[in-house]
Amino acid sequence: MGRRHYKLLQELGRGSAGVIHLALDVRDERLVALKHLSREAVHRHHNAVARFRREVRILSRLRHPNLVEIVACGRSGGRPYFAMEYVDGKNLNDVVAAQTLTLRQSLEIARKLAEALDYIHEHGIVHRDVKPSNILIDRRFEPLLADFGLAHDKSEVDLGLTASGTAVGTLRYCSPEQCAGDSYKVDGRADLYGLGVVLCVMITRRFPKCPESMQDLRGRFDREYRRLMTRMLVPEDVIRICRKTMRYEAKKRYASARELARELARALERLSSGSRLARSA
């Protein structure tokens, strides 16, 4: 299927290698988000096509209500592309900037994302770039995790797409083990770290500082967020969850995204119980 089936309407985003357009699928008469490699990326980045194909393979295996879904793929003009469902909404960066998120909404978004991460981890995938700009919030206020361009598929042998000692991801949200290099060896607990930072951002509306050294990552939650959350009267159990997800040592974080999702669900239940008690009093 060639890209002639799609009419490009406007550019939605651009990265170091990929470009995303809002497009009309003229055959099925629906809007899609069409991602393709730029010509410059094909010529300048020798791994760009291999990374792109890996993203297509990964997305083709995944179906979850809180993941952006791939609907088609192909080649046009010698360059690969794929079409995803178009999410009519905003990315989480913009939602946080609007300063309208409640604590309950923040916890619920994090819980659903933790369930989505549990799903991809069960399929042997580590996202490696969990951050607000890769999280879309649709008009139903459902979060959808997007952009698997840096994802690692554990079922594949190391393809040499990431040089040893190279950090993969966005430093503000990267786990310490990603920052240290050998990112293809990290497991799902690296994604939990990223989600923990995202949860802190949603609750406090303060974006994280960019670490300049590995030492900056030690005690990071206590240094950047704990005092602010205490002043905001965030419940202690929520503070504990945030702190645990951002522990420097992966073994001291939650063992799985499923465990984190359950903790977030319990925090939501306690929040509801507290609200009911306050109303009855």
Residue 32 pLDDT level (bands cut at 50, 70, 90): very high
Cβ partners under 8 Å of residue 195, min gap 6: 110, 113, 114, 117, 130, 245, 257, 260
| pTM, two decimal places | 0.90
Assign a CATH topology to domain 89-274: Transferase(Phosphotransferase); domain 1 (1.10.510)
The span from the CA of 97 to the CA of 235, in Å, is: 23
At 82, the amino acid letter reads F
Which residue in the list 129, 147, 153, 191 is annotated as catalytic? 129
Assign a CATH topology to domain 3-85: Phosphorylase Kinase; domain 1 (3.30.200)
The span from the CA of 177 to the CA of 250, in Å, is: 8
Residue 180 has pLDDT above 70, yes or no: yes
User: Concatenated DSSP letters for 109-141?
Assistant: HHHHHHHHHHHHHHTTEE-----GGGEEEETT-
Structure confidence at residue 167 (pLDDT): 59
The span from the CA of 199 to the CA of 178, in Å, is: 19
Residue 277 pLDDT level (bands cut at 50, 70, 90): very low
For the stretch 131-151, pLDDT in tens is 999 999 999 999 999 999 899
Mean pLDDT of 209-232: 93
Give the total residue count for the chain.
281
Ranges of each domain in the chain: 3-85, 89-274
Q: Is 129 a catalytic residue?
A: yes
